[in-house]
Amino acid sequence: MMKRRVVVTGIGAVSPVGNDATASWKNVLAGNSGIGPMTRLNPDNYSAKVAAEVKDFDIEKYVEKKEARKMDRFTHYALAASLMAVEDSGLKIDDSNANKIGVWIGSGIGGMETFENQFETFQKRGYRRVSPFFVPMMIPDMATGQVSIYLGAKGVNSCTVTACATGTNSIGDAFKVIQRGDADAMIAGGAEAPITQMAVAGFCANTALTTNPDPKTASRPFDMNRDGFVIGEGAGIVVLEDLDHALQRGAKIYAEIVGYGSTGDAHHITAPAPGGEGGARAMKIAIEDGDLALEDIDYINAHGTSTPYNDKYETMAIKEVFGEHAYKLAISSTKSMTGHLLGAAGGLEAIFSVLAIKEGILPPTMNYETPDPDCDLDYVANEARKAEVKAVLSNSLGFGGHNATIAFKKYE
């Protein structure tokens, strides 16, 4: 069966570096970080003192206050980013096409903030005072549910929960839906609002978060002195579309999505497999799925969390896949500025990947000061770089041994 070609026609973001995709991209290229002192929580209660928080975001620009109160913050971010992405794509959803337009938005931990607030209410005042919206606000699939309701998209309606691989898996899964003909367009990505008491406590307890109190240098992927990730929040959403469908309506095209690889480490609940072997297999599958040669890949938007093991093993995985070509590739971790958006990371990084192709510029890895002998590739250190970008991989790896890679190429 002929595989349908799938393109990216719309992008939308709410992130620590900007409340839309354009501002987020501009700030990332300029090396402007969205990481600052933690303000959502009292930092005195945690070993982590910094966070990548969304700033000055107003959900009431997108939905009425009364409706917004029935949603967790992760859904606010998803809804705003989706509305922006669909507007950007120029896609009109009505009765004639609603059945063939779907939504696939994931979240790693869903409505954790809602859970904490409602549990407190339950403890103090009993079950009768718990909100009737508690369950629908908390469950991770509700970002997809609300986006579908607001946009009237009645096609494939799903949600992936694969920890920090969620956003990339969601886009990859949505790509396959269109490729096999089950939808003409999909609104896909990830959303997360994890800067909550228990989520931050949990990540501090398992020593995943940096204890560096300086926001400027806290996230330093691939640097010798990295010591953990910076927790972030937001959403990254793309509109994927069947190529013929996009051409027919004269849509602008950012890039073509051509490959998707998804694997399991079968190794450990939090640590990546030695040598990043699961991540290496995901990259190989995505390259093969996209009918790409190793030499076609110019740039990798790395998972690059700034944790000791992740960055070392991801580097090893890239070398294992690309051999000598690994040293000619450009690699960067935009998490050096955005922090780690967990389930939303892959969504935001997919946007940066397609913009790198469209605009011929590579975002930097900031705070790369002390080279690590284990991380000896080209990490586009400290400033953006002009380059012709023909094909890109975007990697995401999650607790539970989830590995996901998507491949984009210049649309021709």
pLDDT tens by residue, 270-313: 999 999 999 999 999 999 999 999 999 999 999 999 999 999 99
pLDDT at 186 > cutoff 70: yes
Q: Which among 85, 61, 406, 64 has a CA at the least distance from the CA of 259?
A: 406
What is the DSSP secondary structure assignment for residue 250, as one 8-state letter? T
Q: Phi first, then psi: give them for residue 363, nearest 5 degrees.
A: -70, 150
**Has residue 132 got a pLDDT over 80?**
yes
For the chain, give every residue range classified as CATH 3.40.47.10: 7-248, 257-409
Distance CA 246, CA 372 (A): 45
Query: Do strands 234-242 and 50-52 pair parallel, antiparallel, or not at all (unpaired)?
Result: unpaired
- Structure confidence at residue 122 (pLDDT): 98
What is the set of active-site residues? 164
Q: Percent of the chain at pLDDT above 90?
A: 99
- Per-residue pLDDT reduced to its tens digit, 226-237: 999 999 999 999
Identify the pLDDT of residue 1.
Answer: 67
Phi, psi angle pair for 241, to nearest 5°: -145, 145
d(CA 299, CA 396): 15
Average pLDDT, the chain: 98
Domain 257-409 in CATH 3.20.20.10? The answer is no
- Residue 308, amino acid: P
Rounded Cα–Cα distance for residues 398 and 372 (Å): 23
- pLDDT tier at 2 (50, 70, 90 boundaries)? confident
Tell me what the mean pLDDT of segment 104-127 comes to: 98
| Protein fold of 7-248 | Peroxisomal Thiolase; Chain A, domain 1 (3.40.47)
180 closest CA partner among 156, 162, 196: 156
pLDDT digits (tens, 9 = 90+) for 51-107: 999 999 999 999 999 999 999 999 999 999 999 999 999 999 999 999 999 999 999
How far is 223 from 304, CA to CA, in rounded Å? 10
In terms of Cα–Cα distance, which of 254, 250, 259, 262 is closest to 237? 254
The pLDDT value given to residue 261: 98
**Average pLDDT for 405-412:** 98
* pLDDT at position 346 over 80: yes
Q: Tell me the C-alpha distance between 154 and 174, whole Å.
A: 14
